[in-house]
Amino acid sequence: MIKVKAFADLTKYISKDGKFETFFDNKGESVKVKDIVDFYNIPLDDIKIILVNGKDADLETEVSDNDTVTFFSPVGGG
């Protein structure tokens, strides 16, 4: 299982109850971050930062059991 965290506006894609983390069942196989994004139907334009185990990553980064993938949306303000 891969832990998936999403913050700000992205939580709505991974959880219907507003929780910011969930688990992705990779069935013991390595997958790419893009596979997780596709599974949760997260629009690519909504993702600003991707971390895997706290380190900068991209859609092609491979992840496997016990990894943590974190998504951040762009921050607005003014």
Q: pLDDT in tens for each of the 78 residues of the chain?
A: 999 999 888 999 998 777 788 999 999 898 999 999 999 999 999 999 999 999 999 999 999 999 999 999 987 544
Query: Are β-strands 68-72 and 2-6 bridged in parallel, bridged antiparallel, or unpaired?
Result: parallel
| Contact partners, residue 28, CB within 8 Å, separation at least 6 | 65
Q: Which two tokens stand for residue 46?
A: 């909504």
Per the DSSP assignment, residues forming a β-bridge with 70 are 5, 51
How far, in whole angstroms, is CA 34 from its chain's centroid?
9
E strands present in the chain:
2-6, 21-24, 31-32, 49-52, 55-56, 62-63, 68-72
